Amino acid sequence: MLSKKTKYGLKALAYLASRKDRQPVQIAEIAREENISQKFLESILLTLRKNGFLGSRKGKGGGYYLIKDPKDIPMTSVMRVLEGPIAMVPCVSLNFYEPCADCPDEASCAVHKLMLQVRDSALEVYRHNTLADIL
């Protein structure tokens, strides 16, 4: 299940991407327009800024803005920053691999085989979609 953090992060990114002027937008506006708790949104936007998706400006006329073109923001990157590993179990993760403690043999594990297919299907969708595609 998609976490609220990721859902709200996607909504906020889409809101910022839909603005043609690329001017900074205050957190309060995004929170109000997307029906997100302002306090929770602050944390999400800070994460997105620290990971190179957003810029911010303080003071009058300040707020958050996209620093990349929406077509240059792949969903794989957004999902990994907000949600963590794309794989549902660590033994099939491409970037966060760990063997499962309760599994003596990944090659014969039915769960491992199924989760490889799930991971690959999710990656296929994320890799072929950018922020621009979901607007």
pLDDT digits (tens, 9 = 90+) for 70-88: 999 999 999 999 999 999 9
Domain hosting 96: range is 70-134
For residue 58, the domain's CATH number is 1.10.10.10
Same structural domain, 74 and 60: no
| Res. 21: pLDDT tops 90 | no
CA angle 134, 45, 127 (to 5 degrees): 35
Same structural domain, 54 and 12: yes
What pTM did the predictor assign?
Answer: 0.88
Q: Give the Cα separation of 63 and 56 in Å (integer).
A: 5
Mean pLDDT across the chain, nearest whole number?
94
Domain count, the chain: 2
Cα dist from 31 to 36, 51, 98, 105, whole Å: 5, 20, 37, 47
Residues listed for the chain = 135
